[in-house]
Chains A and B, each alone.
Chain A
Amino acid sequence: MSIKNNFKYIRENLSLRTIIIFIRNFFLTILLLSPLLIYLGGSSLYEISLSKENHPFTIWNGKDPKTEIIITWETAQSESSAVWLGKESNLLSLVYNGDGAGVKVHRVELTSLELGTKYYYRVGVNSEPPLFHGPLSSFTTAPDDENTEFKFALYSDSQQLFGIGSHDRIAKALEGYNDLAFVGNIGDLCQEWDHQGDWNLYLLESRSFMSQTIFVPVLGNHDGWYGESEGHENKYKKYFGIATDSNFADENHTLFNYTFSYSNTQFIVAEISKTEDEDPNEIRNINHDIWLNSTLANCQDKTFRILMFHRQVFSSNGMNTRLINRIVPIVEKYNISMVIYGHTHHYERFLYNGVTYLLLASGGVMPTDTGINPSTPYTKSFNMGTSFTFFSVSPNNLTVKTITPDNDIIDSFVLKAENSKAVLLAGGVG
């Protein structure tokens, strides 16, 4: 058929019926994609429909893990706050009874706790009888002894776009470990920093482990500090508060960086979350690095120093040269044992100049690293799919194991403390 005849054929056959059939076929094509669309829509509706009450959880946020803790919970209505605490689960006594106007987000700081002690607690309203919110929960304060072995777990990037993702699998798996000193999330807890549904979903799923251990949050770019305006409340700040000294809480200083020591290890939670946080010439980043340098200088007596922040340094999905130039000299100057971060959605382990860098961004988010080339000169292990990482610290060794929620071992390695450094002793891909 010639081109001329083709046009003639189209002209003659283009009727209202043809157009209706075309529109019908278009919608039928969309219908074929409906399983995915229904899944996305259903997940979003589920997220929106969640309760506005959030169970209690504990954080340090810069407090002393040996004697202090912050308990936070949220109620649907404004209420007064009360906390019952005890060393036995059936012997709790009222330790905090707030007065004055009620609040929805309750934050209670407890001090003068005993070292290395497991505490049980309940929260609610001190009425007769007491009105409790959430289940009986627990936490354990840090030990005084620097030779105490301890375990903790970390993951990153649990952000669930439209409420989809596998974070609930990680949370349920962590529930089975009741000997963890704490569980940390290295940023991007949620997809939208100001979307309440995202945060309700995250806190709902995390109940399983938050009720039995302390939570260590790190600010990610999706949780990031973008200021606040009418209708746009920063939920990271709402739930975890500002960590730094409020005297420095201004535009020239970062707000959510903090540090804590546990047994023989110093943990430094830096605030490197957004693109602007990479720029070494920004005044707030200069001030941040002054804090980082002095914090690291003060913890040289510790066996291990672990630096955590959100944005990637090394990654097969894009090397961050600005951060490599800015952070690596600090890491090497202060003998940091391990640098842990997230952001690019996969698991990867690097060894650079003898220091281990760990990318843990498989914490429930769908891997969006579309095209990837996992063969940097420093890559020691690479994986995609839901995973989280266990750390076991002994007086001289730091043992690390990354697993799936079904206990498949993805990667494991051991660092040994030698002359203020942490040397890679053994490691292999699962």
Chain B
Amino acid sequence: MTFINNYFAMIYAIIFQSVLLSGYFFWAPKARNPEKLYNCWLVLGLRGVFFVIGCYLGFIFLDTSIKILFLGVYGYGNISFHITSCILLLVLGIELIIGAVFVAPTLKSITTFIVMLTLFIYYFEINQVVVHEDLDKIFIPMFYAIAFLIIITLIYEIYRKLKTKGFEDKELWNFERKFKRIFNWKFNLILWILLSIEIILMIEGYSLFFWLSYIF
């Protein structure tokens, strides 16, 4: 049962959330507007890679929080020091996975998701790699998934060129507008503030909910 500890997961979370917010505010203003969609292939390509990274981090965040909160890998002696980070990771993980895959999925994105999930389960549950001062192993499934996405996109484009009529990787459903309204910039800004405060408190041996120790 390999997992990424919640301290490191929180560091990944704050870095990713900062990049996400910078996207909202500076790089990709369309992300804030539910009515606007992208059509530039370069932006779409980068967005695809960003979604793969986001989805993979989503797996890590969900995996870490579930294993700490529900499977008790740390025991429950000092759970009051971990509960805040786990809840934040759970929320961010759900947002990332839904946002990256399930908002407007196509057959291609669902296939990539299944491949990535299979690789994640293999590396974290079956192969159970133990990472000793060897960070890169954690991201092997993510790089495989990015490679798979590139390959499947190329195959799809070639197939589309050959089959001139009637082939399109249609969206299976689309609730992007609703998603952007719920997980809007205000929501993500609050999440970013909470993540920033919590990671500093954790390193200093505290937590937003550490006072629970004195109640229970």
Chain A interface (Cβ within 8 Å of chain B)? 1, 3, 6, 9-10, 24-25, 28-29, 32-33, 35-36, 39, 164-166, 168-170, 316-318, 344, 346, 364, 366-375, 381-387, 404-411, 429-430
Closest chain B CB from A408 CB (angstroms)? 5
Select which of A6, A36, A317, A404 is within 8 A of B132 by beta carbon.
Answer: A317
Q: Quick check: A406 and B130 within 8 Å, CB to CB? A: no
Contacts of B76 in A (CB 8 A): 430
Contacts of B6 in A (CB 8 A): 384
Q: How large is the interface on B (under 10, 10 to 19, 20 to 34, 35 or more residues)?
A: 35 or more
Contacts of B18 in A (CB 8 A): 29, 32-33
Most A C-beta atoms less than 10 A away, residue of B40, B130, B137: B130
Among the stretches B89-97, B103-111, B114-122, B200-208, the one at the interface with A is B200-208
Among the stretches B49-57, B77-85, B145-153, the one at the interface with A is B77-85
Q: With A28-B22, A383-B78, A409-B77 known to touch, is A9 a contact of B40 (CB < 8 Å)? A: yes
Most A C-beta atoms less than 10 A away, residue of B1, B4, B74, B214: B74
Render B56-81 as a binary contact track against A, CB cut-off 8 A, 1 for contact.
00000000000000000111111011
Q: Does B8 sit within 8 A of A, measured CB to CB?
A: yes
Q: A367-B8, A384-B6, A410-B78 are in contact. List 5 more A-B contacts (CB 8 A).
A: A9-B40, A369-B131, A384-B7, A387-B78, A404-B213
Q: With A367-B5, A369-B5 known to touch, is A317 a contact of B130 (CB < 8 Å)? A: yes
Q: With A28-B25, A32-B18 known to touch, is A366 a contact of B203 (CB < 8 Å)? A: yes
Q: Quick check: A1 and B41 within 8 Å, CB to CB? A: yes
Q: Quick check: A430 and B5 within 8 Å, CB to CB? A: no
Contacts of B132 in A (CB 8 A): 317-318, 344
Name the prevailing secondary structure of the B interface residues. helix
Closest chain A CB from B196 CB (angstroms)? 4
Q: Quick check: A371 and B3 within 8 Å, CB to CB? A: yes
Q: Quick check: B80 and A32 within 8 Å, CB to CB? A: no
Q: Quick check: B81 and A370 within 8 Å, CB to CB? A: no
Kindly report which residue of chain B lies nearest to residue A405, judged by CB atoms. B205
Q: Quick check: B129 and A371 within 8 Å, CB to CB? A: yes
Q: Quick check: A383 and B213 within 8 Å, CB to CB? A: no
Select which of A32, A36, A372, A409 is within 8 A of B130 by beta carbon.
Answer: A372
Q: Does B187 sit within 8 A of A, measured CB to CB?
A: no
Select which of A6, A33, A366 is within 8 A of B42 by beta carbon.
Answer: A6
Q: Does B39 sit within 8 A of A, measured CB to CB?
A: yes
Contacts of B1 in A (CB 8 A): 373-375
| Cα–Cα distance between A353 and B107 once the two chains are bound (Å) | 54
Q: Quick check: A429 and B75 within 8 Å, CB to CB? A: yes
Contacts of B7 in A (CB 8 A): 366-367, 384
Q: Does B86 sit within 8 A of A, measured CB to CB?
A: no
| Cα–Cα distance between A35 and B200 once the two chains are bound (Å) | 9
Q: Quick check: B129 and A385 within 8 Å, CB to CB? A: no
Select which of A25, A407, A409 is within 8 A of B22 by beta carbon.
Answer: A25
| Cα–Cα distance between A410 and B80 once the two chains are bound (Å) | 12
Q: Quick check: B8 and A370 within 8 Å, CB to CB? A: yes
Q: Quick check: A364 and B77 within 8 Å, CB to CB? A: no
| Cα–Cα distance between A28 and B37 once the two chains are bound (Å) | 24
Kindly report which residue of chain B lies nearest to residue A33, judged by CB atoms. B18
Q: Quick check: B74 and A406 within 8 Å, CB to CB? A: no
Contacts of B81 in A (CB 8 A): 385-386, 404, 408
Q: Quick check: A382 and B129 within 8 Å, CB to CB? A: no
6 contacts between A and B (CB under 8 A): A25-B26, A28-B26, A32-B21, A32-B22, A166-B205, A383-B78
Q: Quick check: A165 and B204 within 8 Å, CB to CB? A: yes
Q: Does B210 sit within 8 A of A, measured CB to CB?
A: yes
Kindly report which residue of chain B lies nearest to residue A412, judged by CB atoms. B77
| Cα–Cα distance between A407 and B25 once the two chains are bound (Å) | 44
Closest chain A CB from B209 CB (angstroms)? 12
Contacts of A383 in B (CB 8 A): 74-75, 77-78
- In the A-B complex, the 5 residue pairs with the closest CB atoms: A166-B205, A430-B77, A371-B131, A318-B132, A29-B22
Q: Quick check: A374 and B73 within 8 Å, CB to CB? A: yes
Q: Does B162 sit within 8 A of A, measured CB to CB?
A: no
Q: Does B19 sit within 8 A of A, measured CB to CB?
A: yes
Contacts of A35 in B (CB 8 A): 196-197, 200
Q: Does B138 sit within 8 A of A, measured CB to CB?
A: yes
| Cα–Cα distance between A339 and B175 once the two chains are bound (Å) | 58
Q: Does B27 sit within 8 A of A, measured CB to CB?
A: yes
Q: Quick check: A371 and B4 within 8 Å, CB to CB? A: yes
Select which of B75, B196, B204 is within 8 A of A36 by beta carbon.
Answer: B196
| Cα–Cα distance between A164 and B206 once the two chains are bound (Å) | 13
Closest chain A CB from B51 CB (angstroms)? 18
Q: With A1-B39, A370-B131 known to touch, is A25 a contact of B27 (CB < 8 Å)? A: yes
Contacts of A316 in B (CB 8 A): 130
Q: With A6-B41, A367-B5, A371-B3 known to touch, is A36 a contact of B199 (CB < 8 Å)? A: yes
Q: Does B46 sit within 8 A of A, measured CB to CB?
A: no
Contacts of B200 in A (CB 8 A): 35-36, 39
